[in-house]
Amino acid sequence: MVKENKKIWEELISKPKGLPNDIFSGLSFPGGTFFIDTNTNLLIYKSTGMIVNKKNLNNFIHAHPIFLFTSTLRGSGASIQDIFDLLDYDVNNGPMLGQCNMSFKSPLQLEREYKIDGKIISLKEKISKKLGRIKILDFTLSMFDNHNSKVASVDYVWILPEKEA
């Protein structure tokens, strides 16, 4: 299935120009895995101003919950750049995260590999008062443990400003 989804992505990315928005609805991500390592966990705490100490035992045992973002975006089999390539979208237009809804069935563990899967929900066009013509990309990604049980999932809404002609 992973190979099949990857092939579909590769085919679409090879000829992305002029594809209708509807063609992306329901498109599965290629899928893949992500390993949560202790060093990146510490980097996340440090870069967000948290000092890991004995008072916060969770920081030693569990991964920072924001790993739901990094794991799903990096382990889906498609990088952020791949997603923009798929949509024939120029990253220089300044894409932005608009909304994200996260849910956890259990804490994310350190030094563990997770399977990542998901799909694009929709790509829609809209006129924004602030940004002008934009596209709104809605997609969902989930993390699964080695028993194939869903551990967490996140629904993303990205705002993609279009360059005015």
Partner 1 sequence: MDTSGEGGIMYSKGSNLKDWAFLVPQESMNTWAVILDDPNPIHLDANAAKQVGLGDKTINQGPANIAYILNMIEENFPNSRILKMNNKMTDSVLEGDLVTVSGQISEIKAEGDQFIASCSIQLTVGEDKIAVLSEIDVLFERSQ
**Shortest distance, position 61 Cβ to partner 1, whole Å:** 9
**Shortest distance, position 44 Cβ to partner 1, whole Å:** 7
**Shortest distance, position 123 Cβ to partner 1, whole Å:** 18
DSSP 40-75: HHHHHHHHTTPPP-TT-THHHHB--TTHHHHHHHHH
Percent helix, strand and coil across the chain, each to the nearest 5: 30, 35, 35
**Shortest distance, position 15 Cβ to partner 1, whole Å:** 22
Q: Which is nearer to partner 1, 104 or 144 (CB)?
A: 104
Binding site for partner 1 (CB under 8 A): 40, 43-44, 47-50, 55-59, 64-66, 69-70, 73-74, 79-81, 91-104, 107, 161
Q: How far apart are CA 46 and CA 52, in angstroms?
A: 8
Other beta carbons within 10 Å of 9: 20
Q: Which is nearer to partner 1, 105 or 124 (CB)?
A: 105
